Structure 1
Amino acid sequence: MIKITKLLLQKALIAGFFSTITIGVLTVLTYKSTLGYFIAASFGSSMVLLFGFPESPFAQPKNVFFGHLLTALVGVLFVNFIPLPIYMSIAFAVGIGVFLMILLNVVHPPAGGNPIIVIIGSASYDYLINPIIFGCIIILLLAIIINKYLLQKNYPFK
């Protein structure tokens, strides 16, 4: 049985609210402007870390930005240069993405899904700019403003 304390409820409400705001900004930019795509499916799970567990090493800006960029790049490289059946491409790309995130100390678990998204969608190099780079910049700016200044948390964690 889950014991829902006042503190747990407050944490969940805050994380849910600010996740809604952040993803809302990305979706408005994506669907109500002509600026391009700013949202990636993996950003939804990034919200769990950025607003639910901002003290986690996996939620720090370096990990969020480079984790997403690195794994999306792996997916794009597989789409463009590695002619394997999709079931093999996805498996190898995810494995290589995880390997590289750990090796380069930029682990962000939600980014592990990027190669799947990229390969299934046959995304081009443009995907690295929009939504990955610009989307990450926006979610990180909002995470810093919200966590550090509104919620008075030690974010980014130093």
Structure 2
Amino acid sequence: MGNLKQSFIAGLFSIITIGILTLLTYKTEFGIFLIASFGSSMVLLYGYPESPFAQPKNVFFGHLVTSIVGMFFLYLIPLPLFIIIPLAVGFGVGLMILLNVTHPPAGGNPIIVIMGSVSLDYLLSPIISGSIIILVFAIIINKFILKKSYPKTK
């Protein structure tokens, strides 16, 4: 029965969080707040908030680092897409692990960045602003509503 409750709550709060990001993206003039990898972040933030991969430092910097890596390859490495995409993903994953900010959903960000040919503004919105929004929701929901120890203290 605990699994049923956890899955319901994770699904419900994923709907709410992604719903807010979607409304901000499509119903305001504030910019883009939504990326596909945030959907995967919901699995960790609401399904497994105790995971090291779901901690705020990992979520924020994981998304930021891999997006920067994607932009580095997109703008500075003059090779065909079929070469820079796997290189960017590999470097992004390796850098997250090296910096101890691993967030598995962020591993897809270089693909999103390169295939979308995004501008540098992409780092501010959706990466930084969207990450902050999902983390605020994760803290409110996990810490204050569900009374879980989130962010996890050492």
What TM-score do the two structures reach when normalised by structure 2?
0.98
Corresponding position: 1:110 with 2:108: no
The superposition leaves residues 11-57 of structure 1 with CA deviations (integer Å, 9 ceiling, x where unpaired) of 10000000000000000000000000001110000000000000000
CA distance in 2, matches of 1:82, 1:41: 24
Work out the percentage of aligned pairs sharing the same amino acid: 67
CA distance in 1, matches of 2:113, 2:35: 10
Corresponding position: 1:82 with 2:72: no
Corresponding position: 1:64 with 2:55: no
Corresponding position: 1:125 with 2:120: yes
Corresponding position: 1:149 with 2:150: no
CA distance in 2, matches of 1:87, 1:11: 40
Aligned equivalent of 1:100: 95
CA distance in 2, matches of 1:126, 1:78: 16
CA distance in 2, matches of 1:87, 1:19: 33
* CA displacement at 1:77 relative to structure 2: 1.0
Aligned equivalent of 1:3: none
CA distance in 2, matches of 1:74, 1:59: 21
Q: Give the number of equivalent residue pairs.
A: 153
For structure 1, which runs of at least 5 residues remain unmatched after alignment? 1-5
SS in structure 2 of the partner of residue 49 of structure 1: helix
CA distance in 2, matches of 1:128, 1:81: 16
CA distance in 1, matches of 2:41, 2:130: 11
For structure 2, which runs of at least 5 residues remain unmatched after alignment? none
What TM-score do the two structures reach when normalised by structure 1?
0.96
Aligned equivalent of 1:20: 15
CA distance in 1, matches of 2:82, 2:144: 44
2:26 counterpart (31, 42, 53): 31
